[in-house]
Amino acid sequence: MRWTVALMAASLLSAQDLDRWPTGRWQARSMVISKFGVVAASQPLAARAGVQILESGGNAIDAAIAANATLGVVEPMGSGIGGDLFAIVYEAKTGKVTGLNASGWSPKGLTIERLRAKGFSSMPESGIESVTVPGVVAGWDELRKRFGRLSFKQTLAPAIYYAENGFPVSEIIAADWALSRNRLREQAETRRVYLANGEPPAVGQLFRNPDLARSLRHIAARGRDGFYRGPVADSILKLSERLGGSMDASDLVEYRPEWVTPITTSYRGWTISELPPNGQGIAVLEMLNILERFPMREYGHNTARSLHVLIEAKKLAYADLMRYIGDPRGTQLPVESLISKSFASQRAKLIRENEAACAALPSELTTFAGRPGGDTIYLSVADREGNMVSLIQSNYLDFGSALVAEATGFVLQNRGGLFTLEPGHPNAAGPRRRPLHTIIPGFLSNGSRRISFGIMGGWNQGQAHAQFVMNVVDHKMNVQQALEAARMTKRTFEGCDVSIESRVPESVRRELAGKGHQIELLGPYSKPVGGGQAIERNFESGVNLGGSDPRKDGAAMPEAPGWK
């Protein structure tokens, strides 16, 4: 039996890797391969925390909570208990894919009229009016109650340890921290928590956050009530009142996440699952439906022909996203129409083979000015039983609103900055509405194969998901190769600008420029195209295969078997 499993795994690798070796290896890292659990996260201490929970008897859901909580300590610009969360859970015993939308709502006192009376002509991206109710702790609570095995006291223990005792700051995180230096200096409490003598921590410098440890202990002791009631909630409300915000106690206490059914499409025999609106996952499915109309494998990986079609498909899908998508509660959204094959067929006809379209199509529908920013964490977990979690969590911009309530140790997100002040728009600001969201977890399935994946980076995420799927399906890459491969991103919603990593050959970039694309050249492994994690579970062999993007500090780590 042991030899059978090994041979099955070797066969899988042979199909994806060994035939490429004569012309040079296509990846810098090997996958992490184990028949026990694997955790992939954007910082190694967080991945290790998840693995420790697996080794303590927890399952994939428990490990995901532990890794996420730890990321909020060690990667505070992108995540934390002041932000939102989305997850896709694959339950091995039922084969069911379930989604959780733990994005927070706006205060019931938020209205367009209120904002205009305060002098805003567009939705502010900073300040207390940009703060929505954080959804992450309620999301953890729902995940734990429905699927988990362990208590919060157990799963939050690693995060509490690092917050109290400190951790050495890693390289990419230190660089991102430094970029936010000026924002962190603006508020006294934020400056006290995240800067030492006015400066962010350097690479390898020990950073402690005892206030955050205290907040996490409240959650460990009381569950969601440790956040939405009591000292943490009181401090958030005092900050809101002091700064003229409209949030009140009921906005926190009454907030609940929503279990949702993922939306899906097929792509050359694979099923792709994304979460329904208010996220941008719908754009991934529309893009893939458009791309399916073209022979992308025949065009080749990252050729001028394939990249041209990809860029144009992005423009079409995102124009629809920006016009039609917002909070579906109380609003009729054309979800089924936008992800239908017939709709994609008509959209695909708008792509001109040798000419870039410099206007978002349909231009008359693009009434929401999307912002290019966003900072996020993503993690993937698979346990030895085959349960899988695809989880993404974010503050939106680096350090969110950069507002820290007294003695809490975490920033509040600025997700409200994504609302529009256009009355009647699906994404219009209003009482207890959820804004259009950038963060999306992904999931792929085909036969005995399941892949939990995600790639961070604001509005880059939908186009990065599409590229990952193409890499796996069209170009037969394994999960590590699919993450490492050079990517493009279009950070705006109009115009012919596009950003491309320098590993795409110069000859390809010249040919794209000849079609009218205006190329911004990025470094070989650049932040704008996002960093991701992925784990594949092969249910025929019982093997987990993990990948971690070198654009982040992270790692995929295996669970030890528990010998005595």
Answer yes or no: is pLDDT of 9 > 80. no
- Give just the sign of the alpha carbon dihedral 425, 129, 65, 381: positive
pLDDT of residue 163: 98
- Average pLDDT score over the chain: 92
The span from the CA of 430 to the CA of 419, in Å, is 9
Answer yes or no: is pLDDT of 531 > 60. yes
Mean pLDDT of 301-314: 97
Distances (CA, A) of 185 to 180, 413, 549, 550: 9, 17, 31, 30
- pLDDT band at residue 271 under the 50/70/90 scheme: very high
CA proximity to 463, closest of 264, 274, 305, 280 = 280
pLDDT of residue 366: 34
Angle between helix 304-324 and 460-473 (nearest 10): 140
CA proximity to 510, closest of 522, 494, 521 = 521
- pLDDT band at residue 23 under the 50/70/90 scheme: low
pLDDT of residue 26: 72
Tokens describing residue 102: 């733990």
CA 19 to the chain's CA centroid:
32
- Give just the sign of the alpha carbon dihedral 55, 58, 61, 64: negative
Answer yes or no: is pLDDT of 364 > 50. no
CA proximity to 386, closest of 20, 70, 12, 96 = 96
pLDDT in tens, 449-500: 999 999 998 899 999 999 999 999 999 999 999 999 999 999 988 899 999 9
CA proximity to 407, closest of 193, 222, 131 = 193
CA 259 to the chain's CA centroid:
18
pLDDT in tens, 391-411: 999 999 999 999 999 999 999
The span from the CA of 305 to the CA of 310, in Å, is 9
Distances (CA, A) of 27 to 274, 385, 449, 473, 549: 27, 28, 21, 17, 11
Classified as helix, coil or strand, 258 is strand
Answer yes or no: is pLDDT of 21 > 80. no
Q: HSE (CB half, 13 Å, CA atoms) of 468?
A: 34
Phi, psi torsion values for 97, nearest 5 degrees:
-105, 125
Share of the chain above pLDDT 70, in %: 93
pLDDT of residue 14: 41
| Cβ–Cβ < 8 Å for 561, 35 | no
Answer yes or no: is pLDDT of 82 > 90. yes
Mean pLDDT of 227-239: 98
pLDDT of residue 361: 52
The span from the CA of 546 to the CA of 36, in Å, is 11
Tokens describing residue 97: 């894919």
Phi, psi torsion values for 441, nearest 5 degrees:
-85, 150
pLDDT in tens, 316-344: 999 998 888 888 887 778 889 999 999 99
The sheet with strand 488-489 has its strands ordered as: 488-489, 497-501, 518-522
User: What residues are labeled active site?
Assistant: 376
CA dihedral 300, 357, 484, 25 (to 10 degrees): 20
Answer yes or no: is pLDDT of 212 > 80. yes
Answer yes or no: is pLDDT of 18 > 70. no
Tokens describing residue 116: 């205009």
Mean pLDDT of 47-71: 98
Instruction: Kindly report the pTM of this predicted structure.
Output: 0.93
Lowest mean pLDDT among 139-148, 329-338, 520-529, 550-559: 329-338
- pLDDT band at residue 360 under the 50/70/90 scheme: low
pLDDT of residue 17: 47
The DSSP call for residue 434 is P
Alpha helices in 340-393 (DSSP H): 341-348
Rounded (5°) CA angle 460-185-187: 100
Rg over alpha carbons for the chain, rounded to the nearest Å, is 22
Largest CA distance in the chain: 71
Tokens describing residue 96: 């069911």
Lowest mean pLDDT among 11-15, 28-32, 280-284, 540-544: 11-15
pLDDT of residue 4: 38
Q: HSE (CB half, 13 Å, CA atoms) of 114?
A: 16
